[in-house]
Amino acid sequence: MKHITSTALAAGAQESCAKSAEHTLPGMGSITLQPAFRPVSRRDVMSAVNTCARDLGLRQGAVVVLDALLSCLPCQGADGREMPVNPATLLTVYASNETLCFRAKGLTDRQLRRHLDTLETAGLIRRRDSANGKRFPVMQHGKPIGAFGLDLSPLFAQADELLALALRRRDEADELRGLRAQILRLRAACAELQLSDAVAAFVDGLRNLVRRVSLTLTEARAALAQLTTVLTHAEPRTEPDFETEESVSRPPSPVAHAEESACNGHDNPSSPPTHQIETDTNPAAETGQTPASDGRYVRHTEQESDTKKRSARTSELPDWSHLTEVSAFYPQPESAQQATLIAFEFGKMLRISQDILASAAQRLGLWELLKLEDRMARQAGSILNPDAYLRSVLRA
């Protein structure tokens, strides 16, 4: 009974001492006055702030200073491992400016004060100044129960919202990366189309659009929808008939001229005999050697590269009825551009990301990608992760 009474008296004395300390030192950051929040790792909080820095109005210098403040929290356990921050952790940092400047990658004292003002304006820290402006802890039984300095309670009070916002921003960045790849892929397909001046200017401007850092999902989706409309309604570019033009502008060969003269020689008595013309126009007939300029026009034949072979395979698709699943949703395309749109739309139905589809179309070719998607659609019940399945096919 005596032991219980003494323990209760010690606890009451400790509580009264803490209350007296809070009463005599107004404005101090205290553990008892900190808000309740879910325990969270300070690295997770720092990663979320780094992702949402633009939403919070922070620049890189302010983020670095916040990282230095977080590094001063007492989060190390007895075994040396880092423990999550919880409401029982003193969140008021009382490190000196010299220490903070060193941990903030060598910032000057003036830069540190400016970034601290930015963090306070953003609602992530709160200043708890002493009477003389110094930072120091308030100890009790050998442990700090409060401090004057920079309070990180506002940051941890909104930690859950920051983590949710950071997750949403990462998902948007992944989707935006896929939209950028799809826009560039379809923009390259527009090179084979006959476009008006206004549409051609729009297609040319897409290159600068996808490179813009401030590109939003709404702008990317609108650009992709407009580009899809262009590909659907535009006509293929008609190439001039070089064979016909060349045959019109090609001068008659000496052999043809000799034959024409020979035919006209029967009606024109003044024309030389046929054998005389052949002898004059072919001086190497007696020697059996062919001269360097024998009157023939040799056209250079370019060898087919892998890219041209792939384009040829893309433009000439086999029987559409072989794709049993794809043909159930789409009619047979009339051009390679329509087949490309079908491949990307059907891949989206299969939950395949757009950047992986663009890589597969470039490496496998359009028809092989369509056949692979058709096979995946037939095995949809057994394929749990379509992206991983397509990556494994590309690696194989």
Dump strand ranges (E) for the chain: 29-30, 92-93, 126-128, 136-140, 143-151, 193-194, 235-236
Q: Which of 213, 236, 259 is the C-terminal boundary of a domain?
A: 236
Q: Evaluate whether residue 77 is within a structural domain.
A: yes
Q: Look at residue 112 and tell me whether its pLDDT is greater than 50.
A: yes
Average pLDDT over residues 174-200: 88
Per residue in 351-386, pLDDT (tens digit) is 888 888 888 888 888 888 888 888 888 887 778 788
pTM for the whole structure = 0.54
Averaged over 293-301, what is the pLDDT? 50
In a domain, 245, yes or no: no
How many whole angstroms separate alpha carbon 24 and alpha carbon 58? 36
Greater pLDDT, 86 or 291: 86
| Separation CA 123–CA 31 (nearest Å) | 19
**Within a domain: 256:** yes
Whole-number mean pLDDT of the chain?
A: 77
What is the model's pLDDT at position 313?
45
- The two tokens of residue 20 are 């007296």
Structure tokens at 31: 């553990």
- Residue 11 within a domain: no
Residue-range definition of the domain harbouring residue 229? 163-236
Residues 80 and 137 in one domain: yes
Specify whether 54 is located in the same domain as 89. yes
Residues 126 and 50 both lie in one domain:
yes
Residue ending a domain, choose from 236, 270, 292: 236
Kindly state the tokens that stand for 74: 């007492």
**Amino acid letter, residue 277:** I
Q: What average pLDDT score do residues 97-102 get? A: 94
With respect to residue 105, please indicate whether it lies within any of the assigned structural domains. yes
* Position 266 confidence tier, pLDDT thresholds 50, 70, 90: very low
Within the chain, how many helices (H) and strands (E) appear? 18, 7
Domain count, the chain: 4
For residue 337, the model assigns a pLDDT of 79
